[in-house]
Structure 1
């Protein structure tokens, strides 16, 4: 009887804990064609931040397809000091901007937040590597340009 109770308790705990990390998808509230350009920032130390500006529609479409529909989880993670931050600021044709901020917690995983989100989410996608994949000239970014982390 004790073994059955322990087994049932283990199953209940798995169901409860499994429900705590529900998956959602990042849904960008615009189309790639609405984007005029994208400012991308990368830094560990804000005083040494880099910036690239995507202007080619093919590259904007590639970034849009990568981020839109990205799997996110509502999962607790330990805070990490000294991790890198990668952000994407989409400048839209209507004059507004939409921001996606990724804070790395390990290789190819981190926390992601976007304009309009009430909280940040965990993702195991290599969002930080996307900055490196675009072959645009990196320039120094002023601290005032950098995204404000929620």
Structure 2
């Protein structure tokens, strides 16, 4: 098993433009991925934060790529690092969303990579990979449910 990368896919019954907005707009991302809001500066190098109520947790990241309706990527901190610290391959992973359409169905593929480069003991990298591997199907399920419940 490759413990450096995670790949998951989901089909969403919604046009690609709508799914794109659900993934890239803060009011949506902070609902289906987080549950306490989000902020996104939607440009390469822009800041990204997603908040959760439980544990007062915040994902801190940087937008890596914005290719409207086809690709959105960000790098997010995986280690406890000082506020404002640069994101590097040693302290973050890369999350890439790719969207393709087939009629009114949008296929979303998420790839998270870089676990093998994290500055952690191997057992902690493997544990983090396993945790995220189990988390992405849940989060993509939340995206499907959110898409079904949001007006077109």
Q: Between Structure 1 and Structure 2, whose CA radius of gyration is higher? A: 1
Larger RCO, structures 1/2 (Cα 8 Å, 6+ apart) = 2
TM-score, normalised on structure 1? 0.27
